[in-house]
Structure 1
């Protein structure tokens, strides 16, 4: 245990994603979890497009796909007649992953834990965080296991230990919001249905909506709005679940062989601050809300991607700790928006009066008017998340009109080629750890200067029009015959775009001035400059 090491509390998807991202970026990470083994409950099942883009950098998507099922649409069905009221095609969303990947949480955790082991991350289960005290140089923690208590010292602690976070409790901070509201009955079951297994479906019913999330094989998550259960009753009976499915899903879904039954009450709340000195909160430890829209785990995975690259720089002494303040500044507003919007959707979804009628009209419009449906799908996929107002988002020099600006997620334009004429994506380029600088220039000296300034923080990839224009190492040169980078990023014949490790654009500079990169790294990110190795 070292003061340069990061302790991640929680071995769920958010904690494991954080640890993996830290490790691939060169930081040491150690994970503990109070559970002695992975959960067997399906829990969070839907991975949205933006999270899939971020998980791509961990090189785990193919493994996750083997355990899951692609949802290519969102459908709304009448729970009384079985007729389709709305169909929203996810294939129109602007992503390389135009679908939701439904995977049971134990499988997601297994894939991420396997990747963590490959990256040298130690994951200890059956270990509970019971105390922490921090000073200017590190955090002293006490951890309890079956072998007894032990103490350790770490440079930083990330609390990703869920809605009942011990880390949050030990910090003395609290979730603030609404803790009473709608109730759900939820079950992880096998289903028999004639419905195609490629859509997430909502069922409208006067007694409360129902939801169907298909997973691999015949396994599925089902969920229903219900009245508050009697005090002390934590789970519905199997007979109640079968009756809810029969009554509210139009006779289209028959359930059998349950894994897990539970009641839960929706909470909508958030901590005021994500950073507390050397301790940071992520995922459900920082924000809780309704499961409608499958936003919870996805918001946490994006917390992890945003935090990890910054914390990796700081933990390795490569950047000033002030960089971590941008985690609060960028992610807290996103969390607040998710809490606010899911609260609204849950309130409307649970209505059977006038708001419920308005809901039905809105769903009809979304399902039958393509522009509205695309906008709904894009929002649910979290593809509208961006940081244009962040201090880390810098436009330098001349502004050229383009869809993307600093602070946006980096577009992945079609048409980029390797020197051997095979296609390549920005997503694939980001698998190599670090920052990615896309460079357009005919001046070889500019490229050399940029590579020296960036050093081992990432790589500079030159974009040329033809293979005849290529210079330097083939792996650091791409051909763009149709000016896709110019159109999407607004780069002229002499310009650069820096893409952060989380896939967002940090800097766009026209022209490609090496000093613009130097100032961005030194003054905006607080990075200590080093020579290339």
Structure 2
């Protein structure tokens, strides 16, 4: 039997860490999450999921469940644009879904529990060392956790990032933001954004009479002058002309927004994801979305490496693909933030007119909505002669196995090809061939587990693409079955001895895995 050392330890039990754990466990990788908190977070800042994050969650069977829990908005009226119609997006999720971060975490925790992921609470990381083969984490109580890889998903004040010393360049916005969850009675209000000389206010409906309200005051705020809730109400009265009779504040936060990014998302056998890798202004609602996408991008690549079939260059593509995305998100949200906080009604009015004109054109609409929703995110094709589809998002569509994003729920590559797809048979443990029921040009496309096109071309290029992306065909299904069987046996045998003294373990510490990989 192999060592009981975890394949991956994930630091942080927020949306990014939970998503990464689910990706790894789906592939049969032994992982655990450690979190310094005693329980689930009582504070939630993120509250919106855009279309691309929802598509990726749909590719794991969770998209529709989250939509059922949230408030889907097809149209919003932000301060920087008179109207943004997400409902015009060509996707299963043409919306901005308003759902508290706590709701997203609950769905992901439930999935992690189904997959046998252990979450160890009250476990604060204080030290990290690594060599060519493994990483060792030290916890505050002196316990040590050896592992093959570490994912630092421990937030904006990441200890893992600090221990790696990879920097976190950027700036802190000079004006603090006030946030609260309040009740607004009466008919359901649409999302509200108002800007004036005093600053900006926003109110976003959760759909059940509760609203997330925020105020960004150009003259700053004075915590000693009046209670925080009073400051928010006054800000709405000054900027929007009414406080909408908000009441019953159940949560409040005062924080200084930042725009920062780690110099590198990887250091040896340690990776950074989510807010540990990048933080941005809340305007635009990009933070949680970017973290979920980080986790899905990294998860299948790390699993491929641990299962022994990853090409030697694959893990390097995590930083190469996601760091530029993080930089573009910071640029977008910084532009919107400075626009909203300018205090100039004229500048805002001009920008709204420009945005409205662009959104009336096809290219402008695709660009703006694509950036905000994440649907236009694309990765380098890796080959100067690659097909134009390579690196692009694969749109959903019907196949002989169901919708493409249903087929992706197994966590494998998908080969879309008309006619005989027998060339993929030697890679059956890594690739599922299906036939598209609609048109497909070119003749075939290899879709990555994260829903991006790895390769597209004619039938005679399929085998070469499979070797490039999925490793040698000799890595058989039997090898994978043995890996999973050994993993499950170790988990059952070793679970009782792996409890760390002084820590509490979540209810999902079951010591077993479901027989099925999809919901």
Short-chain TM bin:
0.7 to 0.9
Q: What TM-score results when the alignment is normalised by the length of structure 2? A: 0.85
How much does 1:154 deviate? 0.4
The answer (yes or no) to whether the contact 1:211–1:224 under 8 Å persists in 2 is: yes
Q: 1:394 to 1:68 in 2, by over 3 A?
A: farther
How much does 1:63 deviate? 2.9
Q: 1:394 to 1:306 in 2, by over 3 A?
A: farther
The answer (yes or no) to whether the contact 1:164–1:285 under 8 Å persists in 2 is: yes
Q: Tell me the distance in 2 between the aligned counterparts of 1:231 and 1:254.
A: 22
For 1:274, which of 265, 282, 293 is the aligned residue? Answer: 265
Instruction: Using the TM superposition, name which of 350-359 and 224-233 deviates more.
Output: 224-233
CA RMSD of aligned residues (A): 2.7
Q: Deviations over 1:451-480 (max 9, x none)?
A: 11x2301211134xxxxxxxxxxxxxxxx2
Which residue of structure 2 lines up, in the alignment, with residue 72 of structure 1? 74
Q: Deviations over 1:109-150 (max 9, x none)?
A: 111111001011001121111111101110011123xxx331
Which residue of structure 2 lines up, in the alignment, with residue 506 of structure 1? 454
Matched, 1:154 2:153: no
How much does 1:368 deviate? 6.8
Matched, 1:288 2:276: no
Q: 1:77 to 1:50 in 2, by over 3 A?
A: closer
Which residue of structure 2 lines up, in the alignment, with residue 24 of structure 1? 26
The answer (yes or no) to whether the contact 1:183–1:227 under 8 Å persists in 2 is: no
For 1:496, which of 444, 463, 473 is the aligned residue? Answer: 444
Which residue of structure 1 lines up, in the alignment, with residue 108 of structure 2? 112
Q: Tell me the distance in 1 between the aligned counterparts of 2:225 and 2:275.
A: 21
Which residue of structure 2 lines up, in the alignment, with residue 211 of structure 1? 202
Matched, 1:450 2:421: no
For 1:90, which of 86, 91, 105 is the aligned residue? Answer: 86
Q: Report SS of the residue matched to 1:203.
A: strand
Q: Tell me the distance in 1 between the aligned counterparts of 2:111 and 2:212.
A: 26
Q: Report SS of the residue matched to 1:181.
A: strand
Q: Report SS of the residue matched to 1:258.
A: strand
Q: 1:529 to 1:262 in 2, by over 3 A?
A: same
Q: 1:204 to 1:39 in 2, by over 3 A?
A: same
Q: Deviations over 1:178-223 (max 9, x none)?
A: 22434321112222354544xx432232322222221141111111
Q: Tell me the distance in 2 between the aligned counterparts of 1:485 and 1:182.
A: 52
Q: Deviations over 1:475-516 (max 9, x none)?
A: xxxxx2xxx332xxx22xxx3211001000001121344432
The answer (yes or no) to whether the contact 1:187–1:258 under 8 Å persists in 2 is: yes
The answer (yes or no) to whether the contact 2:153–2:273 under 8 Å persists in 1 is: yes
Which residue of structure 2 lines up, in the alignment, with residue 190 of structure 1? 183
Q: 1:184 to 1:235 in 2, by over 3 A?
A: farther
Matched, 1:485 2:439: yes
Q: 1:532 to 1:96 in 2, by over 3 A?
A: same
Q: 1:530 to 1:277 in 2, by over 3 A?
A: same
The answer (yes or no) to whether the contact 1:433–1:458 under 8 Å persists in 2 is: no
Q: Tell me the distance in 1 between the aligned counterparts of 2:150 and 2:44.
A: 27
Q: Report SS of the residue matched to 2:17.
A: helix
Which residue of structure 2 lines up, in the alignment, with residue 466 of structure 1? none
How much does 1:394 deviate? 8.2
The answer (yes or no) to whether the contact 1:27–1:312 under 8 Å persists in 2 is: yes
Which residue of structure 1 lines up, in the alignment, with residue 405 of structure 2? 427
The answer (yes or no) to whether the contact 2:311–2:468 under 8 Å persists in 1 is: no
The answer (yes or no) to whether the contact 2:60–2:409 under 8 Å persists in 1 is: yes
How much does 1:244 deviate? 1.8
Q: Tell me the distance in 2 between the aligned counterparts of 1:335 and 1:527.
A: 32
Q: 1:185 to 1:366 in 2, by over 3 A?
A: farther
Q: Deviations over 1:204-253 (max 9, x none)?
A: 32322222221141111111221465688799622111222233334373
Q: 1:165 to 1:355 in 2, by over 3 A?
A: same
Which residue of structure 2 lines up, in the alignment, with residue 515 of structure 1? 463
Which residue of structure 2 lines up, in the alignment, with residue 406 of structure 1? 390
Which 5+ residue runs of structure 1 have no aligned equivalent? 79-84, 464-479
Which residue of structure 1 lines up, in the alignment, with residue 354 of structure 2? 362
How much does 1:151 deviate? 0.9
Matched, 1:351 2:342: yes
Instruction: Using the TM superposition, name which of 17-26 and 454-463 deviates more.
Output: 454-463
Q: Deviations over 1:23-65 (max 9, x none)?
A: 1122121001111111122311001100000111222223323
Which 5+ residue runs of structure 2 have no aligned equivalent? 479-519
How much does 1:337 deviate? 0.8
The answer (yes or no) to whether the contact 1:86–1:367 under 8 Å persists in 2 is: no
The answer (yes or no) to whether the contact 2:8–2:147 under 8 Å persists in 1 is: yes
Q: What TM-score results when the alignment is normalised by the length of structure 1? A: 0.83
Which residue of structure 1 lines up, in the alignment, with residue 516 of structure 2? none
Which residue of structure 2 lines up, in the alignment, with residue 44 of structure 1? 46
The answer (yes or no) to whether the contact 1:179–1:268 under 8 Å persists in 2 is: yes
For 2:256, which of 265, 273, 276 is the aligned residue? Answer: 265
Taking CA–CA contacts closer than 8 Å with sequence separation of 6 or more, which of the two structures ends up with the larger relative contact order?
Answer: 2
The answer (yes or no) to whether the contact 2:34–2:121 under 8 Å persists in 1 is: yes
Matched, 1:179 2:172: yes
The answer (yes or no) to whether the contact 2:6–2:31 under 8 Å persists in 1 is: no
Q: Tell me the distance in 2 between the aligned counterparts of 1:426 and 1:252.
A: 46
Q: 1:527 to 1:276 in 2, by over 3 A?
A: farther
How much does 1:528 deviate? 7.3
The answer (yes or no) to whether the contact 1:168–1:285 under 8 Å persists in 2 is: yes
The answer (yes or no) to whether the contact 2:454–2:469 under 8 Å persists in 1 is: no
Q: Deviations over 1:385-412 (max 9, x none)?
A: 011x242x6866xx6xxxx601001022
Which residue of structure 2 lines up, in the alignment, with residue 307 of structure 1? 298
The answer (yes or no) to whether the contact 1:76–1:204 under 8 Å persists in 2 is: no
Q: Tell me the distance in 1 between the aligned counterparts of 2:85 and 2:221.
A: 40
The answer (yes or no) to whether the contact 2:33–2:118 under 8 Å persists in 1 is: yes
